[in-house]
Amino acid sequence: MSQDRIERETLIEASLERVWELVAQPGFWVADKASLPGTVAREGETLLAKNPHHGDFPVRVEKVDPPTYLSYRWASAFPGQELREDNSTLVEFTLTAEGARTRLRVVESGFASLAAPEELRSGAVRDNSGGWPLELEALKARAEESSV
C-alpha cells in the first residue's frame, strides 16, 4: 500500500449525469448526508462538511470539469483546523460513461506531505483506505436508487 495515495473505483448502474450530481456535492464523502442537497461544487469555494461522528472538515473545490472530473482538498487528519497545503490531501474524482453505466474513480493523494508525525500520516492512509470503499458503495446505492 502506498503511503501517499489511495486509488479506488466502482461501476455504477446510473447515468454519468446522475453520478455527477452526487459527486458535485462538496464533501459528500464525509458530510452529514442531510446537509448535501442543494450544494454544488464551485471552483475555489470552501465549504464546511459537518459530520456528527468525526467532526467538521473544510473542503475546498479545486477544479470542476463537468461532467467527468472534480477535485477537492480537505484536511481529513485535522478536523476543525483551517485548510492549508501542509495539512490537506487532494481528492480527485474521474467519471467515465460505459454505456448506460458510469465508472467512478477516486484518487486521494498527498499523505506523505502532511506536516504531522508518521503515526498520524499512516493512520490517515489506513482510515481513508478503509473509508473510501464504504463511501463509494453508499454513493453507488444513492445513484442507483434514483435511476430506477
pLDDT band at 1 (very low <50, low <70, confident <90, very high): very low
Task: Convert the pLDDT of each residue in 72-107 to its tens digit.
Answer: 999 988 888 899 989 999 999 999 999 999 999 999
What does the block give as the cell for 71?
A: 477535485
**In sequence order, what DSSP letters do the residues of 18-84 get, joined into one string?**
HHHHHHTSTTTTTS-GGG-TT----TT-EEEEEETTTEEEEEEEEEEETTTEEEEEE-TTSTTSPP-
All structural domains of the chain = 5-146 (3.30.530.20)
- Mean predicted confidence (pLDDT) in 105-129: 94
